[in-house]
Structure formats: structure tokens, C-alpha cells
Amino acid sequence: MRIWFALALTLGLQLLLGGCALVPEQLSERVSERSQVEALLAYYHRLSGATLEVQRKEHLDAVAANDRVPDDGTRIRLALTLLLPGVPWRDDARVAQLLGAVDATARDQPSPRHDFVVLIEKMLQLRREEQKRCDQKVDALREDRRRLEQRLEGAREECKKAEVLQQKLDELRDIDRDLRNKRPSRRTKP
């Protein structure tokens, strides 16, 4: 009986220790992903404050790195360079494509990298919606401007007509004045 108890205890300890050996590996993966996400956030923060020339160089480096080794880190890094505000190479469609490739590999289990990708996708979606609203406002302003220009043109035509009528009225007054001055007055005749 003691042998079975010792054997069961040994087997239980081995299973427990074997399970514990798996946990640190998963934790270390999470920690490395978390540190990778933190590094990417710091990278984006540094880039957003850099000059356009530095941003261009980093973008070209990210493109080259993604061409050489297209993994999740290089895809996210390239996506971040494409998301920089005010750069001429900004490409939301390419960012969505890159993030879709990253997201496809990590759909089954949540991770810091997956959460970061989802956050970027949400920000991208919000930016698209804001851009759409801005485009609609610009279109409305253009339509208002077109209507105002039509009104202005109509007002100019009315002003021209009024000037022509005023000239005719002035000419008629001049003619009337001339006629009154040329006509002898009946009272002065004896």
C-alpha cells in the first residue's frame, strides 16, 4: 500500500512539475510580446516627433525589413510608418492589409500583440470615418460655394440691368430738362 501511495505521489508531483514547466514558457512569450508592443509604441512615439527626412528613412528601412523577413514585428513596424500623420506615403489600405496578415496568425488566442493590432485597426476605422465626414463637409461646402457663386452672378446681372435702367432714366431726365428749357413759357407772352 505504501508503495502505491509513494508511486501515486511521485506521479502526481511529476505531473505538477511538468505542468509548471509549461506555464513559464507561456508567460515568457507574453512578456516578450508585451515588451515588443511597448517597443513598437515607443518607436511610433519617437517617429511621430521626428523630421520628415527621418520618417522617410525609417519608412524605407521598414519596407526593406518587411521585404526581407515578413513577420508580425516587421509588418506592424511598417504599418506604423504608414500611419504617421502628414506623410506623403500614408496608405490606409496597405495598413489594413498588413494588419490583416498579423491578425490572421493570432486570432485563436488573445495576446498583447493581438490587442495592439486590434487597437490600431479601430483607430484606422475611426480615421476613415472621420475622413468620410470631412469629405462630406467639403462636398457640402463646395455645393454651398457653387450656389453662392450662382447668386452672385445673378446679383451682378441685376446690377448691370439696374445700371442700364439708371442710365436710361438719366437720359430721359436730361431730355425732359432740355425740353423744359427750350419751351418758352406761356406767361411771358403778352
Instruction: Kindly report, residue by residue over 47-93, the tens digit of the pLDDT.
Output: 989 999 999 999 999 999 999 988 888 999 999 999 988 899 988 88
Residue 4 to residue 82: CA distance in whole angstroms:
65
Q: What is the pLDDT of residues 82-95, one digit of tens each?
A: 998 889 998 888 99
- 163: cell is 445700371
* Residue 59 contacts residue 87 (beta carbons within 8 Å): yes
| Residue 43 and residue 80 in contact, taking contact as beta carbons nearer than 8 Å | yes
3 state DSSP class of 115: helix
Q: Which amino acid is at 74?
A: T
CB 50 within 8 A of CB 28: no
Q: Taking CA 107 as the corner, what is the angle to CA 105 and CA 112, rounded to the nearest 5 degrees?
A: 90
Q: Give the three cell numbers for residue 181.
A: 428749357
Which residues have a Cβ under 8 Å from the Cβ of 89 and sit 6 or more positions away? Answer: 56, 59, 81, 82
Amino acid at 7: L
**pLDDT for position 188:** 54
Write the pLDDT tens digit of every residue in 141-151: 999 999 999 99
pLDDT in tens, 101-146: 886 555 566 788 888 888 999 989 998 899 999 999 999 999 999 9
pLDDT of residue 100: 86
- Residue 155 has what pLDDT? 95
